[in-house]
A and B are shown apart, each in its own frame.
Chain A
């Protein structure tokens, strides 16, 4: 299943958030969306995922999601959004319970995703016992459990420290290499974008419009820390974004 954005525009009251967004999200690719703060990246993601309704334009599903997909459009949130009163496995079973799976099937899915995210030893832990990185791994495991057609990741690593972020980037690359998934990955971190994105969409400051789309051909697995080619890309992205970021930074906020 692919996604197609057609001339998406959205406002909150008088405030134009995003405008005229046309974008294709092809199967098996990670699309990164970067832009200065307040440019409507997260709003755009919520529009794609159906958590908000766009005022202008349409988000289209092209083709049908795979039959075994329980929740085709699945979010991974910046704040993890784990239920603190449920254990790791409870948080994963939460999203499976409403879909008529037998206990055995559910158990199999949970074991599988926990193994894939290296969490098998933490099954019975409560979120309060986990570090930020582990919490986000649980959230990723939960997202994988519903076999999404498209993962919608809203700054998934922004609440983590930089070492944990490196580890999780590696995890995501490994996950993708083993079994390519489709993702829209919103971030303000250009390094994450060049490490994970097959193409990178740069938004302008508010109201967000597409400034440029940068494609990176290098396979994800080869994008090591300090790779020369990636640094060139990151530098170029920063040149595009710098002015926008500066202008966004100096904007007065009036309510």
Chain B
């Protein structure tokens, strides 16, 4: 301790950043900020009424739509189409995906077919569906079902492929039956992949729903938007778009909820 004290300095900290942190309020804040900016811009005339509608007018239009009862008249058929179509597409998709994942013969036969129909824009096939399934609900169901089918298949067989082989080997080593291995090991193991595939397929379902309704429907969000667009009624157009947005957020929240229930075992 007789030596002269050496200069002391804190070690520089350089390990910060690169860690994503969740902060849900900032997202909301940005959203509100944009709305306020547009509101001010349109009211002062900085943004012309041809470019964007006044947000508060859009909201008023929405409230009016609600009051008049027309909201449900448009929303109920849309949601029915979405549910029926997606239910068909997703359930057939998961089944086919699992079959492809489990059986090499099915994979050899169907994987190329799926790869071939995946990139076809399903909207292009709508006229065909109209002939096959009729101009009314049938063709819309078919379009949505077909559009959700292919991404679901691809996600599902990918998920089955990614199931930990060591768990399957464990099942075999305990002489579990084939069906038990599929039901208790392969399916739960593939669930995370299937659910994240569902996220994509349901977003596609909403897009196709609108496309189908634009091409021939009396009621529905798509029809509502199309009508507003052709009249250049920006307020109603934006109401329609906002409803779609909310629909998308709701679907995504629903999947989050299912994930938190079904996948609570994930680390």
Interface residues of A (CB under 8 A from B): 49, 51, 71, 73-75, 77, 79, 81, 83-86, 94-95, 97-98, 126-128, 142, 146
What separation, in Å, do the CA atoms of A83 and B167 have in the docked complex?
Answer: 7
Binding site for A on B (CB under 8 A): 166-167, 169-170, 172-177, 180, 184-185, 188, 263-267
Residues from chain B with Cβ under 8 Å of A77 in the complex: 166, 169-170
Beyond the given pairs A81-B167, A85-B263, 8 more chain A to chain B contacts, judged by CB atoms under 8 angstroms and listed by A's residue number, are: A49-B173, A74-B173, A75-B173, A75-B174, A81-B170, A97-B180, A98-B180, A128-B265
Cα separation A92 to B264 with both chains bound (whole Å): 19
Shortest distance from the beta carbon of B19 to any chain A beta carbon, whole Å? 21
Most chain B beta carbons < 10 A, residue from A73, A81, A142: A81
Whether the pair B176, A83 counts as a contact (CB closer than 8 A) is no
Task: Compute how far the CA of A104 lies from the CA of B139 in the bound complex, rounded to whole angstroms.
Answer: 54
Q: Which residues of A contact B167 (CB under 8 A)?
A: 81, 83
Interchain Cβ contacts under 8 Å between A and B, 23 examples: A51-B169, A51-B173, A71-B174, A71-B175, A74-B173, A75-B170, A77-B166, A77-B170, A81-B166, A81-B167, A81-B169, A83-B184, A83-B188, A84-B265, A85-B265, A94-B176, A94-B184, A97-B184, A98-B175, A98-B176, A126-B265, A128-B266, A146-B174
Complex CA–CA separation, A51 to B170 (angstroms) = 10
Q: Do A74 and B174 touch (CB < 8 A)?
A: yes
How many angstroms from the CA of A252 to the CA of B117 in the assembled complex?
A: 46
Please give, as numbers and ranges, the residues of chain B lying within 8 Å of A127 by CB-CB distance: 265
- How far apart are B166's CB and chain A's nearest CB, in angstroms? 5
Contact A51 B172 (CB under 8 A): yes
Q: Which residues of B contact A73 (CB under 8 A)?
A: 173
Residue in contact with B188 in the complex, picked from A85, A95, A128, CB distance below 8 Å: A85
Give Cα A251–Cα B14 distance, bound, in whole angstroms.
41
Residue of A51, A71, A83, A128 with most partner-chain B CB within 10 A = A83
Chain A min CB distance to B160 (Å)? 15
